Amino acid sequence: MTTAVEQALADPTLTDEERANLELVLHFRTVPFSERSKYTVDGFKPTRMGMPTLAEFAAPGAVRMNGESVPDRVDEIDDILVRGDRVWATWTIRGTHLGELQGIPPTGRTIAVTEVGQWRVKDGVIVEAWFMVDELALLRQLGRWPVQEG
């Protein structure tokens, strides 16, 4: 069984630009947060969309998310596609909540949360990105929101 990434990389219809954009985004997602600025324009700041995000509820100065929030984080890409200067993906974030995350102290609980992202690439760097994550599922898994029965 081939993965979504393998299928995308094997797509014979990709242009050279699309293949380079796909490879850039895939590589970008593997480097630590502290190194990601090497692959983005100066001042890059991704956009979070959807309902009010957890970041809006965290106290000023709270750790939003960093490499210590879920240090064993693994992203399993469920689907990915590229067209022109855009790359879209859906993935499942898996790991253990061992560091502060959006102001929530470590719980030691495991998480499996769906996220969707889109990146726009220009001249070999990421210039824009948009993300939406299932934050309600995350809160439930961290014990911060009651799970509805039935």
In order of their start, the domains of the chain are 4-141 (3.10.450.50)
Question: Is the Cα torsion angle 137, 98, 94, 53 positive or negative in sign?
Answer: positive
Contacts 24+ apart (CB under 8 A), 36-41: 39/125, 39/126, 40/125, 40/126, 40/127, 41/122, 41/125, 41/126, 41/127
The answer to whether 97 and 69 are in contact (CB under 8 A) is: yes
Write down the pLDDT at residue 52: 66
> One-letter amino acid identity for 104?
I
Write down the pLDDT at residue 39: 97
d(CA 44, CA 129): 9
Structure tokens at 81: 């596609």
Write down the pLDDT at residue 149: 67
Q: Is the pTM of this model over 0.75?
A: yes
d(CA 68, CA 27): 20
Write down the pLDDT at residue 61: 80
SS3 call for 24:
helix
Alpha-carbon dihedral of residues 86, 90, 92, 93, nearest 10 degrees? 30
| Rounded average pLDDT per 10-residue block, the chain, 150 residues | 92 96 95 91 87 75 82 95 97 96 93 96 97 92 80
Write down the pLDDT at residue 150: 60
d(CA 88, CA 78): 11
Structure tokens at 100: 């502060």
Q: Which of 123, 22, 23, 39 is nearest to 81 (CA)?
A: 22
